[in-house]
Chain A
Amino acid sequence: MKCEEYREAIAADPSFDGNAGHLSECAACQAYRTEMLALEQTIGRALRLDVPELEMPELPEIVAEESRESSTSMSDNVVALPNRRRVSPAWFAMAATVVVAALLGIRLLSTGIEYESLADEILAHVDHEPYALRVTDVAVSDERLASVVPANVAKMDHGAGLITYAQSCVINGHEVPHLVIQGERGPVTILLMPHEMILEAQILAGENVNGVILPVGNGSIAIIGESGESLERIQQQVMKSATWST
C-alpha cells in the first residue's frame, strides 16, 4: 500500500488498521495517523451536542389488535401493518364521519391514519420499511418472488432488474407485492397495485424522493427512487416485466 492510499483509507475511517506493515515503516504516515486520530477526537466532542429533555408527543391510542403479539401471529410473508379496527357500537357516528371524509376526498384508512392521497400512503409505507432499502447485490429467490407475486394476481420476472426485496404489504386495504430493485443511485421501490385504478400518471417529486404512479390496466404501479434516480429506464423494464393476471 502506498502512502496516498493509506492516508485516504484512514481519512475515510480512522479506525482503519489495515497494512500495519506500511505504518511501521513510514514515519510520515505515522504522524498523519496521529494527527487524524486527534482530529477525530475533536470531531466526536464537537458532534456530541447537549440534548434537551425530551417532551414526549401525545401519542394516539393504538387498538390492542395492532399490538406486536397479533402482528407476530401473522404470516411471515405479510408485513405487520396495523390491522383494521373492529366495528364498535359507535360505528354509526364513525360511518357518518367516513362518508364526510370520502366526500372531502380524504383517505381514511383502517389504521386510523389519514392519508390525503394514494401517493401519501405509498410514501408513508416506504418509510415504514426502511430496511427494505438496502444496497445489495443479492437477489431474492424465484420461490420468494413467486410467493409475494402470486400467479393469480400478477406475473413478474427478473427483467425489471435485480430484485433484492420482496414482501406482501397492505396498501389501502389490499395486499400488494412490495419489491425493491437496485437502481443507479440506490434502491428503487416498486409496488404492484392491481386494485388501485388511477386515470393518469402521478409524479412523486421531493427533495429526497423521485417517483411515479403509473396507470396499468385496472390497476397501477408505483416506482419510487432516490432523488436524482433516472426512472425512465426502470419504468420501461417494469412495464415489460409485470402483467396483471386478472
Chain B
Amino acid sequence: MQSSKAASLRRQRFDEYVAVYHQDMYRYAAWLSRDRSIAEDVVQEALMRAWKSLDALRDEAAAKQWLLTIVRRENARYFERKRLETVDIDNLTASQAALLAEQPDEELDHMRQAIYELDDDYREPLVLQVLMGYSTNEIAEQMGLKQGAVLTRLHRARAKLKEQMAKP
C-alpha cells in the first residue's frame, strides 16, 4: 500500500516536471537537431531517461537544467547512433523544412533561417540564453565552457544574425 503511494507520488512529481518543461525540452531539441521529427524522438528518449533516473535529482531548483542536459546528451547520442551527416540547408527534408516555414511573417522567417544556418557552437548558447533564460555562467556550466568563451560565442552569434538580417 505504502509502496503504491510512493510510486504514485513519484509519477506525480515526474508529470509536474514534464508539464512545466516539456515545451523547453522540445524547442531546445528542435534547435539542436534542426529537425522537428528528430526533436520529438530526442524528447521521448530524454523523458524515458529522466523517468528512470528521477531519484538522482535531489535539487528541485535544478530540474530544468537537469532535463535540458539530458536532452543535450540524447541529441548527441541520436546523431552518434544514426551517424547523420551535417544538415545540407539546400536539400532539406520535410521535417527540417517544417522548422523554417511556419509563419507568414517574412521577418520571422528570415530570422529563423538565419538562426538555422548558425553553427551549432553559436546557435546553442543563443537558444539557452534567449529561450531558456540562462545566464552566461549557467550556459558555461551547461556546455562545459568557460564563461569568456560563452560571451564570445554569443557576441559572434548576434553579429552573424545582424549581418544576415541586413541582407535583402
Contact = CB atoms under 8 A, between A and B. Distances in A.
A237 B80 CA distance: 30
A42 to B, nearest CB: 5
A47 B92 CA distance: 19
A54 interface: yes
A187 interface: yes
B76 A206 contact: yes
A52 B158 CA distance: 28
A96 B55 CA distance: 29
B48 A226 contact: no
B144 A186 contact: yes
A51 B22 contact: yes
A206 B80 contact: yes
Contacts of A13: 129, 136, 151, 154
Interface in B70-103: 70, 73, 76-77, 79-80, 99, 102
A42 B47 CA distance: 30
A12 B49 contact: no
Interface in A52-68: 52, 54-57, 59-68
Q: At the interface, is chain B mostly helix, strand, loop or mixed?
A: helix
Contact of B141 (A48, A52, A59, A134): A134
Interface stretch (A74-82, A151-159, A213-221): A74-82
A11 B155 contact: yes
Contacts of A56: 18, 47
Given A68-B6, A127-B73, 6 more contacts: A39-B158, A39-B165, A40-B130, A49-B99, A65-B3, A131-B59
Interface of A: 8, 11-14, 35-36, 39-40, 42-52, 54-57, 59-72, 79-82, 111, 113, 124, 127-131, 133-135, 185-187, 206-209, 226
10 contacts: A12-B151, A48-B27, A51-B26, A57-B44, A59-B11, A67-B3, A68-B6, A127-B53, A130-B66, A185-B145
